[in-house]
Amino acid sequence: MEEPFFTRCHFCQTTTREIADVEADWATRDLSPKGVKEEYKSTVNFVYWTAKVRVVSYLVHGSRNYGAIIVPVNATPGCLSRDHQKP
């Protein structure tokens, strides 16, 4: 049976051509999320801080994906809040 690829090349150095081919393929992909929905919303108490939690879902190429967004309750837009850390 013929191999679909050469196993001896699994750990070969990537060629410039291979990288260019992958970049060209990626450039044509549309990974824009569609059908974004908020699935769940709550507040979670950790040991030293509290956070707002939102679970969202979205479609990419027809497959539904999920993600959690966790933000300290005292965070403000644009901040890098350290208020949630242990005193």
Give just the sign of the alpha carbon dihedral 72, 74, 80, 82.
Answer: negative
Residue spans per domain, the chain: 7-72
- 3 vs 30: CA distance, rounded Å: 31
pTM for the full predicted model: 0.62
Mean pLDDT, residues 7-22: 85
pLDDT digits (tens, 9 = 90+) for 37-87: 999 999 999 999 999 999 999 999 999 999 999 999 998 887 875 555 555
- For the record, the structure tokens of 52 come out as 């707002």
Burial 29-54 (b: 16+ CB within 10 A, else e): eeeeeeeeeeeeeeeeeeeeeebeee
- For the record, the structure tokens of 67 come out as 């993600």
